[in-house]
Structure 1
Amino acid sequence: MDRQLEAAGFATGEGGRKDLAQRLSEMLDPQIVLTGEGMHDYCRDWHGDVQSDAIAVLRPRSTDEVSAVMRAAAALGLDVVPQGGRTGLVLGGVPDQPARQVVLSLERMTSIRQIDAEDFSAVVEAGVVLEAFKEAVAEAGLFFPLALGAQGSCQIGGNVSTNAGGVNVLRYGMTRELVLGLEVVLPDGTVFEGLSQLRKDNRGIDLKQLFIGAEGTLGVITAISVKLLPRPEHVATALLALNSLPDVMTLYRRARQQCCDLMSAFEFLPPLAFQLAQEGIPGLQIPIDTSHPAYALVEISGSGLVDIDDLMARFLEGAMEDGLVIDGVVAQSRQQAQNLWLIREGMNEGQARRGKHLRTDVSVPLSKLADFVAEAEAAIARDMPGCVSVSYGHVGDGNVHLNVMPDTSLGADSIDPQIKQAKKIVNTVLDGYKGSISAEHGIGRLKKPDFEARLPEAQRQLLLAIRRGIDPDGRMNPGCQLDPR
């Protein structure tokens, strides 16, 4: 690619980058071209562990402008790194080749084009913040179930591009299950208009599925049509203490049978979660004894004639009578329920405040979740005795975040080697359970080597064929997921 730029008359050093940025300003509306110090926040990861650079940050305001950006980038031979709310955890939206890449931010495409209460659907542009969209949908008396800790800043387009998960996957599925149609700008600037709002459409291959989870490697998602649901009128949330993670799994199976599809979330937490949550959110109130071995955060919800509070009460009564649940608290108001969820969200902030650490996002079969956590944590304790393991996650879909905080007493220079060693240990144990190295965060650049090392050849060839067919020049987010060149 550097040779291609040079052949076009551009140097590849700092001067060449300025020339390319100037050409972009000439070819596009200069108001969408951002250069200089203003690019700083667009070229870093959410935790601040990685800082990069780019030729320019392009911030189009419409699908037509995205198309113009793609045509200009193609004419200049530039790579394009699509970017949403910059909350990703695998470097999928962080440029890694500053001399030949532009960042394409969707943050100015913020129109909610339509909310149709009769059709239970909506059409929303890619740059709309998830929380703002959920609030707008709620005002219409409906519900969009995707729920993430980063929903105050992540964007719908990024959610779709990464096939985001979150706490409600158990009941509503991944983002993929909520998408009816897509509008996508392809690498040459062509607009794929697929904003269908049909629930059933069996006319051949479902093309939208190619772009969901592709992390911007096939095109730029500019708008999405999504399913909406009736708003849950009744929600019951409980934080429960148990004697072990296997007991948590037993409680989950019982909840799945007794609460059925009304169970919307079931999370497991370690005792350390509460300390981390208070470090992340100072002053956060913890309404339960934090000395028990394991915890579960359970939520059931429904509308209409279902008595959710009674269902929760009867479920917990049986679990406590059988000695499965040893302590617990049930939220008595929406504010109390939000406080319980702040514990789950705050522990992520607490870990971030402790510094750089291993963040994993793995999945195993439900029946093996407790065994996997026990084996992986034991391996970390045996081989890296100064490190601290923090395991938590979404019980109902087998998704475990087994994070490892390094032993800081060994010095700053040891942090990265410790993280690398811990990742190798966790992934080795994971392979024995035939699990996935990415349950909901995606592959990005961070997990690319581990992804490629585990990729069966037939799958590799299919993925390469798709990428090369849609993006023959390999300009869409190269370095992310799988190298097309």
Structure 2
Amino acid sequence: MKPVSAERALSRITALLGAEACLVKQDARAPYEHGPRYGAGTALCVARPADVASAAELMRLCAADRISLVPQGANTGLVAAASPDNSGLQVILSMERLKGVIDIDPVDGVIQAWAGTRLSELNQALEPHGLCFPIDLGADPSVGGMLAANTGGARLIRYGDVRHNTLGLQALLMEPAGELLDLNNRLRKNNTGPDWKQLFIGSAGSYGIVTQAVLQTHPLPQQTATALIVPNSLPVGLQLLQDAERRFGDFLSAFEGMSRNAMESVLHHLPQVIAPFNPLPPYALLIELSSSAPASAHCNLEHLFMPWLERHLEQGNILDAVVDKPESLWRIRHAISDSIKQEGKIVAFDIAVARSHLPAFRTAAIELVERDFAGAVVCDFGHWGDGGLHFNLVIPPTHAQQFLPARIDALRTAIYDLVVRDYRGSFSAEHGIGPFNQHYYDRYLSTQKQALAARLQPAFDPYYLLGNTRFS
């Protein structure tokens, strides 16, 4: 069967959804066609259904006419999975109007929400109940987007990723087209066969479009203790991480790393931020303890934290430390991404290795850049608690002509080869798979895994009409 013409497809979609829910003009489509970092194409239109029934009808129409759909939440992803290609024939299916909290159950500790609901809206609704959904990010993604990418964040060491905090979901299928698969439940224990909801988490909308989810919540922290420390060395930093886990247990909620170059960029572009150290060290670690129990004589995190810091200062494991209000120290960490963008072109790597390999990998990666790609400036930060590293490189304007697309591609491949082949790590730790990094999925995933995907993806989407990510 041949796809219908663009004009007929547009006419049918507009008739189905109404003109207000089908954005056709270029200026109206533009915010949906461009991703925040990568991904820029041209869509036939942007479909914005107001309910699940309309979204299901749209999927049936697209399946019948072989029209490709690109699911999109808040459009905050960083691998172009929610961006259309350049054909002008794909329809962006925006879930932004399917939003709102359906239910909060403080007894079960869950929130049920539509896919278009933003992370900030979840937490605003949960706060009066003393609860939160503790995925800590620089962006404000939607529920559907967080599931599609299996979002992690800075506090994964304590709370896990989105997969770990999803109890149930509903999804619209492309086969049979428009059928609603109900996998919603609030059970923490349910061992009755395969956990089918996991197929829709971290798969970029390729198996179906999530319409709502039941998410596990956590009590809001009532007290925190935060310090920015200078480790004697990066291997010593790992020893401090192990000791902190032994000493503080579940109180340890973040263990983040920041390089000197990253901190310098923040101080340069945000002069109101006070330098934590003078001079800045080569590397610093941000450690956070938190508890949902209020501070008391029997449970005071600052009283627990200070002796630990003092002991390691005396032993020389920590060379310097700043204890301050959490928001002051976290401001430095959260400002890194926006600050380094102002330094030049960013070549970003969202990677992960085993925690035990972090110091050796970082040293090897910096040596590789200095040897083979001189002029690129390493401005990295990372989640030491879970092995994640945002190994970001800045290409200053003065070196732009030395880093044309072919050389940047060579740089990416060199770093990813180091991650995957030398350190058995991941080339996409948090951001998922999309057109931006599809090439590396094809390069590094084993033939066995790709063969399994080749059998699975067509079962859910036989004509490959959902999105631009291909797992086979």
Q: In structure 1, what is the Cα distance between the partners aligned to 2:127 and 2:388?
A: 28
Q: In structure 2, what is the Cα distance between the partners aligned to 1:264 and 1:425?
A: 33
Q: In structure 2, what is the Cα distance between the partners aligned to 1:307 and 1:30?
A: 58
Q: In structure 1, what is the Cα distance between the partners aligned to 2:45 and 2:323?
A: 50
Aligned to 2:157: 170
- Counterpart secondary structure, 2:380: strand
Contact 1:404-1:419 within 8 A present in 2 as well: no
1:285 alignment partner AA: I
1:140 alignment partner AA: H
Q: Deviations over 1:345-377 (max 9, x none)?
A: 111001222333211011111111100000011
The structure 1 residue matched to 2:137, chosen from 120, 123, 148, is 148
Contact 2:245-2:252 within 8 A present in 1 as well: yes
Q: How does 1:36-185 map onto structure 2 within 5 Å?
A: 36=25, 37-47=27-37, 50-150=39-139, 153-185=140-172
Q: In structure 1, what is the Cα distance between the partners aligned to 2:433 and 2:199?
A: 15
Q: In structure 1, what is the Cα distance between the partners aligned to 2:438 and 2:137?
A: 23
**CA offset at residue 428 of structure 1?**
2.1
**CA offset at residue 236 of structure 1?**
1.0
* Distance change (3 Å), C-alpha of 1:290 and 1:71: farther
Q: In structure 2, what is the Cα distance between the partners aligned to 1:265 and 1:411?
A: 36
Q: Is residue 294 of structure 2 the alignment partner of residue 307 of structure 1? A: no
**CA offset at residue 76 of structure 1?**
2.2
Q: Is residue 317 of structure 2 the alignment partner of residue 324 of structure 1? A: yes
Aligned to 1:473: 463
* Distance change (3 Å), C-alpha of 1:329 and 1:161: same
Q: In structure 2, what is the Cα distance between the partners aligned to 1:59 and 1:278?
A: 41
- Counterpart secondary structure, 2:170: strand
Contact 2:150-2:432 within 8 A present in 1 as well: yes
Q: In structure 2, what is the Cα distance between the partners aligned to 1:411 and 1:326?
A: 37
**CA offset at residue 412 of structure 1?**
4.7
Which sits farther off after the overlay, 210-219 or 413-422?
Answer: 413-422
Aligned to 2:448: 458
Aligned to 2:2: 4
**CA offset at residue 481 of structure 1?**
4.2
1:442 alignment partner AA: G
Q: Deviations over 1:363-416 (max 9, x none)?
A: 111111100000011011011121111222000111111112225334458342
Q: Deviations over 1:438-461 (max 9, x none)?
A: 111111111111111111122112
Q: In structure 2, what is the Cα distance between the partners aligned to 1:109 and 1:330?
A: 43
* Distance change (3 Å), C-alpha of 1:407 and 1:481: farther
1:450 alignment partner AA: Y
* Distance change (3 Å), C-alpha of 1:231 and 1:407: closer
The structure 2 residue matched to 1:283, chosen from 243, 265, 272, is 272
Q: Deviations over 1:115-160 (max 9, x none)?
A: 111111110111111022112212211122111111xx31121011
- Counterpart secondary structure, 2:178: coil
Q: Is residue 17 of structure 2 the alignment partner of residue 28 of structure 1? A: yes
Q: How does 1:156-235 map onto structure 2 within 5 Å?
A: 156-187=143-174, 188-235=177-224
Aligned to 2:343: 354
Q: In structure 2, what is the Cα distance between the partners aligned to 1:317 and 1:395?
A: 22
Q: In structure 2, what is the Cα distance between the partners aligned to 1:466 and 1:178?
A: 24
Gaps of 5+ in 1: 11-15
Contact 2:67-2:465 within 8 A present in 1 as well: yes
Q: Is residue 240 of structure 2 the alignment partner of residue 251 of structure 1? A: yes
- Counterpart secondary structure, 1:53: coil
2:316 alignment partner AA: G
TM-score normalised to the size of structure 1?
Answer: 0.92
**CA offset at residue 279 of structure 1?**
4.8
2:150 alignment partner AA: N
Q: In structure 1, what is the Cα distance between the partners aligned to 2:254 and 2:209?
A: 31
Q: How many residues align?
A: 464
Q: Deviations over 1:304-350 (max 9, x none)?
A: 3532111211221211111111212212xxxx312211211111001
Q: In structure 1, what is the Cα distance between the partners aligned to 2:111 and 2:329?
A: 30
TM-score normalised to the size of structure 2?
Answer: 0.94
Aligned to 1:445: 435
- Counterpart secondary structure, 2:414: helix
Which sits farther off after the overlay, 414-423 or 404-413?
Answer: 404-413
- Counterpart secondary structure, 1:237: strand
Contact 1:235-1:299 within 8 A present in 2 as well: yes
Contact 2:225-2:301 within 8 A present in 1 as well: yes
Which sits farther off after the overlay, 282-291 or 436-445?
Answer: 282-291
Contact 1:269-1:294 within 8 A present in 2 as well: yes
**CA offset at residue 280 of structure 1?**
5.1
Aligned to 1:13: none
Q: In structure 2, what is the Cα distance between the partners aligned to 1:209 and 1:283?
A: 44
**CA offset at residue 50 of structure 1?**
4.2
- Counterpart secondary structure, 1:315: helix
Contact 2:345-2:396 within 8 A present in 1 as well: no
The structure 2 residue matched to 1:401, chosen from 390, 409, 424, is 390
1:154 alignment partner AA: P
* Distance change (3 Å), C-alpha of 1:413 and 1:318: closer
Q: In structure 2, what is the Cα distance between the partners aligned to 1:460 and 1:116?
A: 40
Contact 1:90-1:446 within 8 A present in 2 as well: yes
Q: How does 1:329-340 map onto structure 2 within 5 Å?
A: 329-331=322-324, 336-340=325-329
* Distance change (3 Å), C-alpha of 1:64 and 1:300: same
Q: Is residue 360 of structure 2 the alignment partner of residue 371 of structure 1? A: yes
2:459 alignment partner AA: G
* Distance change (3 Å), C-alpha of 1:220 and 1:282: farther
Gaps of 5+ in 2: none
1:311 alignment partner AA: L
2:428 alignment partner AA: S
